Amino acid sequence: MIISEVSEFFRLFNSHLGESFLFFSLFWIVHGINQLCGQKLNIFGIIPRHPASIIFGPICAPFLHADFNHLLYNSFPLFFMLAILFAKGPSQAIATILAMNLLTGLITWLIARRGNHIGASGLIMALFGFLLYKGYQSPSVESIIIALIILYYFGTLLLSIFPDDLLTSYEGHLAGLIAGIVIAHYGIPYSIQTIAIKPAYYLNIMAATLFR
């Protein structure tokens, strides 16, 4: 029973690795475009309490990074947790990410210090909180093993929700952790699940074309 459940997860993990890689590539593509534009795209980050920022910020901010090191630092935990999420299927993964970005962005917009909050750290914390809470909420061999691996390798991420320096958006990290737990507990609104169907369909086609 345990072996079959773990084997099934790895089968799904491997079968959707192409989709998770393509989605992850978006972060690097956007970063490259942003660098070519002289980082002008950073205007679409989250600027707390700025009316226009609430429109684009929650969706755009996770894809924008201050520099190469900022994105590189985020890349390993981001790809690892995205790959786990995509094992449940591209549609569900994209819907979850969209819900996470929207809620993380809203909370950050409400509580964060003034400035421009960008980077995938909020999404990483949302994924972290989501996967940990799933191990508690719906305990199974798969969810518990995932939660333990996440906690073992990325447990120090919890320290990032506390104030450290002026350049780190600990408010965005805290907002992401809260958003991940909330979404894991209450689920994803049907409207967001519907929106995710088309992007997931095209992502699946691209992955099938490139990797299979």
Q: What is the pLDDT of residues 75-103, one digit of tens each?
A: 999 999 999 999 989 999 999 999 999 99
Single-letter amino acid, residue 157: L
107: CB partners within 8 A, 6+ apart: 174, 175, 178, 179
The pair of three-digit structure tokens given for residue 147, joined into one six-digit string: 């939660």
Residue with tokens 């369909």: 201
The pair of three-digit structure tokens given for residue 163, joined into one six-digit string: 């104030």
At 111-151, the pLDDT tens digits run: 999 999 999 999 999 999 999 999 999 888 889 999 999 99
Q: What is the pLDDT of residue 1?
A: 64
158: CB partners within 8 A, 6+ apart: 177
Fold adopted by 2-211:
Rhomboid-like fold (1.20.1540)
**What is the phi/psi pair of residue 124, to 5°?**
-60, -45
